[in-house]
Amino acid sequence: MIDSWVKAAFRASEAFFGNALGGLGDWALFSMSTFRWLLLRRPYARTVAPVMVTVGYQSAGVVIITGFFIGMVLAVHSYSQFKKFGFVTWSGSLINASVIRELGPVLAATMLAGRVGSSMAAEMATMRVSEQIDALACLGANPIHYLVVPRLLACILMIPLLTLMADLGGVFGAALICVEVYGVEAHDYWRHSRDFVRMFDLFAGMIKPVVFGGLIALIACHRGFRSKAGAEGVGRAATEAFVLAFVAILVADFFLALILNKLGDVWAQIGR
Amino acid sequence: MSTAADALVTFEEVSVRFGRQEVLRNISLQIRRGETVVIIGESGCGKTVTLKLIVGLLRPTAGRVTFDGRVLTDLREHELARERLRIGFLFQGAALFDSLTVFDNVAFGMRAIGLAENLIAHRVRQHLREVGLSDAVEPKMPAELSGGMRKRVGLARALALQPELMLYDEPTTGLDPVMSDVINELIIQARARSPMTSVVVTHDMHTVRRVADRVIMLYPLARLRGNEQQIIFQGTPQELARCSDPRVRSFVEGDARGHGEWALEASGSEESPTEMPSAVREMSQYRSPNERRVGD
């Protein structure tokens, strides 16, 4: 009996990892094809602008709110700890460095993976199920060039700008709590922030959204293109797009943190 | 007598498998220039897969599909894209682009090949009129159209590039009888306006009788016995009406009693219709008739 359980568990894990590796390989080929089309031919003029409006303009409000509340929550938690050690005027330095370097990019990307990624995946999946993607191919357009390249461009260009908005929201939300609510001296709050937050932090905080934006677009479009038939297939594509994009953001964030930390040290050395 | 040179599309021992599911097995057929071939068969027998193989949307697991003498799987991406512009495809649900107006849908292919906008506007209007739609529908979105209007816009879009080969995937499914006949009439008129080869996939026997030069019937693989061929009939509509194969008769006459008996036999069920035990015993000795071919 135990033998049959072990065999069943082995077969299940073999199927799971086999499917996962196969899916990763398929996604890699899909992404390579997308970058090839991005470099080979400019996208259709009528497709890029509407997607940029959807990704950028229509997400701005929710991203600013996200950043604002992140900053406020960070301020609440940080202030109590800094107060124990008598360094309340330094709270801005930690909060703003965290928001600009890490929390702003990651949480804004997570919000957009849900809002933009799920919506893209559902749209692509609906087009797949209703044979619109096949129709594109029959009418002389390459579906990846027509659908995926504009979305990749829109995410790469718009998500860094949205992250900047999230960062501003976070900085001002934190300042609101620290200065206006807890009464931290504003001059000292901003002076320590200026001294502690480096240009490289801002640079690193803008590199991450470019990578995250690319991952969101490629994963969402891939899930949509590979959708199974029916409403269940569309729903599953939207869910998988968010979950996989979220995991990819976390993994990419880890590796980017390693690389950017090293780069930051080199930058600091050069600066001296 | 037809020759290979007359054939616009050929299937040579084509098989298609999706994972473990085999859909087509060793299909060989030719579609000659200028003829209208109607492919019929029960749901799941591979009719739509056959159409998608012709236009290169699917690749065969085995065998070759050729279009105008060129093997589709040998073509590079840009060559396949060029060949596809010679083929028009009316999808089952019309597959109109939801985010574009009717005008932009019909103009899509013409814009893809770089025609001038004023010429595009003229041709969009012309093709919409040919399918019985007025200029008033041009600014509408697909969601605002009825099923029949969507099919007609889809037809206009497919015909806009003046294809040599038209593929119709269940063009009358979901439409009322009058609108179905409108679509049949449009298929006939499109063929009359310019020399065109057509392949129509349908369940609608009225469409078969109205538009077909030749009929091919496919049978689901799961219900075939041994090495039986998947194409169980090829011939004219008149020959189809006279065919004595019970499977063909069952489909043509829409007789579900025939369908139920075959399902019982194929599944090896021990149950049998108590009112017809002799018929069940006869079915156990059934041998399929030879495949009928059109006399050339």
- Which residue of B49, B72, B84, B141 to mutate against A (max A Cβ within 10 Å)? B84
Interface of A with B in 133-152 (CB under 8 A): 134-142
The residues near B173 (Cβ < 8 Å, ≥ 6 apart) are B92, B202, B203, B204
Q: Which residues of B touch A50 (CB under 8 A)?
A: 99
How far is CA B252 from each of CA B188, B204, B236, rounded to the nearest angstrom?
22, 9, 13
Averaged over B210-216, what is the pLDDT? 94
Query: How confident is the prediction along chain A (272 residues), in pLDDT tens digits per residue?
Result: 778 888 888 778 777 788 888 889 999 999 999 999 999 888 877 889 999 999 999 999 999 999 999 999 999 998 888 888 888 888 888 889 999 999 999 999 999 999 999 999 999 999 999 999 999 999 989 999 999 999 999 999 999 999 999 999 999 999 999 999 998 888 988 888 888 888 888 888 999 999 999 999 999 999 999 999 889 999 999 999 999 999 999 999 999 999 998 988 888 888 76
How far is residue A81's CA from residue A83's CA, in Å, rounded to a whole number? 5
Per-residue pLDDT at B270:
41
**pLDDT tier for residue B257 given thresholds of 50, 70 and 90:** low
The residues near B240 (Cβ < 8 Å, ≥ 6 apart) are B208, B215, B217, B233, B248, B252
Per-residue pLDDT at B141:
96
Please give, rounded to a whole number of angstroms, the shortest distance from the CA of B86 to a CA of chain A.
9
Average pLDDT of the residues of chain B: 84
Is the CB of residue A132 less than 8 Å away from at least one CB of chain B? yes
Per-residue pLDDT at B292:
37
**pLDDT tier for residue B110 given thresholds of 50, 70 and 90:** very high
Per-residue pLDDT at A272:
61
Q: Which residues of A touch B77 (CB under 8 A)?
A: 142
Please give, rounded to a whole number of angstroms, the shortest distance from the CA of B276 to a CA of chain A.
40
pLDDT digits (tens, 9 = 90+) for B116-141: 999 999 999 999 999 999 999 999 99
Helix axis angle, B277-284 to B256-267, nearest 10°: 60
**pLDDT tier for residue B179 given thresholds of 50, 70 and 90:** confident
pLDDT digits (tens, 9 = 90+) for A164-191: 999 999 999 999 999 999 988 889 888 8
Hey, which residues does B67 pair with through a beta bridge? Answer: B9, B70
Is pLDDT at B241 greater than 70 in this prediction? Answer: yes
Do B55 and A138 count as a contact with CB atoms less than 8 A apart?
yes
Please give, rounded to a whole number of angstroms, the shortest distance from the CA of B205 to a CA of chain A.
25
Please give, rounded to a whole number of angstroms, the shortest distance from the CA of A141 to a CA of chain B.
7
- Among residues B217, B214, B157, B238, the alpha carbon closest in space to that of B190 is found at B157
User: What is the spatial order of strands in the sheet that B165-169 belongs to?
Assistant: B87-90, B165-169, B197-201, B36-41, B214-218, B231-235
Is pLDDT at B76 greater than 60 in this prediction? Answer: yes
Q: Which residues of A touch B93 (CB under 8 A)?
A: 130-131
**pLDDT tier for residue B259 given thresholds of 50, 70 and 90:** low
Averaged over B145-165, what is the pLDDT? 93
Hey, which residues does B217 pair with through a beta bridge? Answer: B40, B233
What percent of chain B is modeled with pLDDT above 90?
58
SS3 B36: strand
ipTM of the complex: 0.81
CB-CB: which of B93, B99, B158 is closest to A131? B93
